[in-house]
Amino acid sequence: MKKIAFRLDTGKSIGSGHLIRCMALADELSIQSDCSILFICRNQLQETLPYPVIYIKAPYITNDKIYEFPSIIDEIDELSGILRNENIDCLIVDHYGADDDYFQQLKKIVPYLVCMDDGLERHVQADIVINGNVFGEDASYEGVPLKLTGCSYLLLRSMFQTAAVRKNHDQVKEVYITSGGADPLQFCYRISKELAEHFPGIHLHVIAGWSFSETYIMKLQKQNLAIHRNADMRECMINADFFISSAGSTLYELAFCGVPSICYVLAKDQKLVAEYMSLKGITYSGGNFDSFQGQAFCHLCEKLFSDKKTRAQMSKYGQTMIDGLGARRTAEKILQFTGYSHTLERRQL
């Protein structure tokens, strides 16, 4: 049996997008083949996975007040031992702390090495690069044999593989706010405070990420809003008239569901997503959140809340761009490239 491992981390200043997309790909690989799946992490995962997890001894220490991704080059020796002991055939790395030197060293150890990337240019020694972002087809990966780029290879979880019919109401009543799994900048609090003060007629909802502390949730509840813990994101998006979101992976799920939104860049890796999706008319970018101005934000909300036609166009553009089958396509390509394609018939069993 072939063994495929995923190397990723989550944390209070990392967000959950890495785990979500790795799980989406892992599930498809399991459906399409008899491969054994393994996850390798440094920080304790907050949810139970259907796959075994091996933890590297040294914790991945980040600053809880900002989004940051320190180098993980210090783990190479321990990780190498794990890969050899587990006889890993293919390693998929989804980590902003993994630099090109990290990949260069790993390439000597595993038969197949896969890099998940969210940039435009990378000189990485990998057999496969996955960049399912809206800008992915513009990315350059010189020397990489297999490039899976663009929204055709966007890794959405299974709940976002079947789209619901979108209805844009005349009035915006249900507004949801999300920062992803983490909120070191207190994005949800600052946004909800502005909305509560300037739009008293709307119903506010905050989706609490897994790393939200009880103290922070109590602070949010003072805004007289609904808090959604362990939220069914698809259900929230179906019920929402509008979303205010960080410019992370949630933007793609919103686009798939046809939910109009305003996004803000909370971490530098989100900048390209915000820019490209805003240019395509799928969302409106408020820019970097560190330059947030309440008056400009409320003016933009007032404009979009009152413009049903623009909101309907945002919905249409998003649902046209993403079909939800990226994880399936990506798994098929990986299995074919690595020689596991003889097991693809399992999908029909």
- 3-state secondary structure string across 25-80: HHHHHHHHCCCEEEEEECCCCCCCCCCCEEECCCCCCCCCCCCCCCCCHHHHHHHH
The CATH code belonging to domain 3-158+324-348 is 3.40.50.11190
Q: Say how far apart CA 24 and CA 316 lie, in whole Å.
A: 24
Q: What is the rounded average pLDDT of the residues 260-265? A: 98
Do 43 and 74 contact (CB within 8 A), yes or no? no
Q: Which residue has the higher pLDDT, 223 or 133?
A: 133
**Domain 3-158+324-348 matches domain 162-321 at the CATH topology level:** yes
Domain 162-321 has CATH 3.10.580.10: no
Q: What is the rounded average pLDDT of the residues 119-148? A: 94
**Structural tokens at position 47:** 């949810």
According to the model, what pLDDT value does residue 320 have? 93
Domain boundaries, the chain: 3-158+324-348, 162-321
Q: What is the rounded average pLDDT of the residues 105-128? A: 94
Mean pLDDT (the chain) is 92
According to the model, what pLDDT value does residue 348 have? 43
* pLDDT beyond 90 at 167: no
According to the model, what pLDDT value does residue 1 have? 78
* pLDDT beyond 70 at 66: no
Give the pLDDT confidence of 293-320 residue by residue, as tens digits: 999 999 999 999 999 999 999 999 999 9
Q: What is the rounded average pLDDT of the residues 179-184? A: 88
